[in-house]
């Protein structure tokens, strides 16, 4: 399974780049707005840090304007993937970009039917949001499981990307569902490393070693 980081914060992205386990980055207009730095400037700085797909989202809602924005963001760096919201106009753009060989990430997918339409349009990535459904008392992972099955059944080329992740438990469920990618916020990535029994176990190994007087050499 591939890990993307869901962030536009360069400090966070620099840290995970050093950890060496991140395969790509997803941004969205809200994440970019929080950083207060230029759109192109931020995407290019991210592309210098991570050698993998970097999603940059269009902000228009008509197909002509979306297509224009898509060509602009795609021209910034070869690793840019154009993120398109799931609306009918957007799916026309995904079809067009797919014919041009430009990669797309369809965002704001909540149902199997939406994912099916996006896959048929030729989306590279299907961003299925889990946390926003769970926040409302739903079960966001159900659509992920269904979408993974659909991609395999019909041999779509699209990859299932689990988005809107709130906790490490969603990564566990994404692995069980066989999702191709999880895009993970920095604080959740940090939590994935943590277990009190690991800390406790390491401390007792080190204490016992010290007491023994043994050395490596």
Contact 90, 106 (CB under 8 A): yes
Q: Let me know if 83 is a catalytic residue.
A: yes
**Residue among 6 and 159 whose Cβ is closer to ligand E4P:** 6
Residue 128 contacts ligand E4P per CB under 6 A? no
Residue 126 backbone dihedrals phi, psi, to 5 degrees? -110, 105
What is the CB neighbour count within 10 angstroms for residue 151? Answer: 21
Residue 147 contacts ligand E4P per CB under 6 A? no
Which range touches ligand E4P (CB under 6 A), out of 32-40, 111-119, 129-137, 193-201? 129-137
Q: Out of 79, 145, 164, 174, point to the residue binding ligand E4P (CB under 6 A).
A: 164
What is the CB neighbour count within 10 angstroms for residue 170? Answer: 23
Going by C-alpha positions, the residue among 164, 204, 158 that lies closest to residue 184 is 164
Contact 35, 11 (CB under 8 A): no
Residue 178 contacts ligand E4P per CB under 6 A? no
**Residue among 42 and 183 whose Cβ is closer to ligand E4P:** 183
Residue 127 contacts ligand E4P per CB under 6 A? yes
Cβ at position 83, least distance to ligand E4P in Å: 7
Spatial distance between the Cα atoms of 115 and 160, rounded to a whole number of angstroms:
9
Residue 46 contacts ligand E4P per CB under 6 A? no
Cβ at position 107, least distance to ligand E4P in Å: 6
Give every CB contact of residue 51 below 8 A, 6+ residues apart in sequence: 79
Q: Which of 83, 103, 120, 194 is catalytic?
A: 83
In the complex, which residues of this chain contact ligand E4P (CB under 6 A)?
Answer: 6, 26, 28, 107, 127, 129, 131-132, 163-164, 183
Which residues are catalytically annotated? Answer: 83
């Amino acid at each position: 399974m591939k890990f993307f980081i869901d962030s536009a914060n360069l400090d966070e992205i620099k840290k995970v780049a050093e950890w060496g386990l991140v395969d790509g980055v997803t941004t969205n207009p809200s994440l970019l707005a929080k950083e207060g730095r230029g759109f192109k400037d931020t995407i290019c700085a991210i592309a210098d840090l991570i050698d993998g797909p970097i999603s940059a989202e269009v902000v228009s809602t008509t197909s002509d304007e979306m297509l224009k924005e898509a060509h602009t963001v795609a021209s910034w760096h070869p690793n840019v993937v154009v993120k398109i919201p799931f609306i009918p106009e957007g799916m026309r753009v995904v079809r067009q970009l797919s014919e041009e060989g430009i990669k797309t990430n369809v965002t704001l997918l909540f149902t199997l039917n939406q994912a099916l339409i996006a896959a048929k349009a030729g989306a590279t990535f299907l961003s299925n949001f889990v946390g926003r459904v769970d926040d409302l008392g739903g079960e966001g992972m159900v659509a992920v499981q269904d979408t993974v099955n659909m991609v395999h059944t019909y041999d779509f080329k699209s990859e299932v990307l689990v988005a809107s992740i709130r906790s490490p438990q969603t990564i566990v469920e994404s692995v069980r569902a066989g999702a191709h990618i999880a895009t993970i916020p920095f604080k959740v990535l940090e939590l994935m490393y943590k277990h009190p029994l690991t800390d406790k176990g390491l401390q007792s190994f080190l204490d016992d070693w010290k007491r023994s007087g043994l050395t490596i050499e």
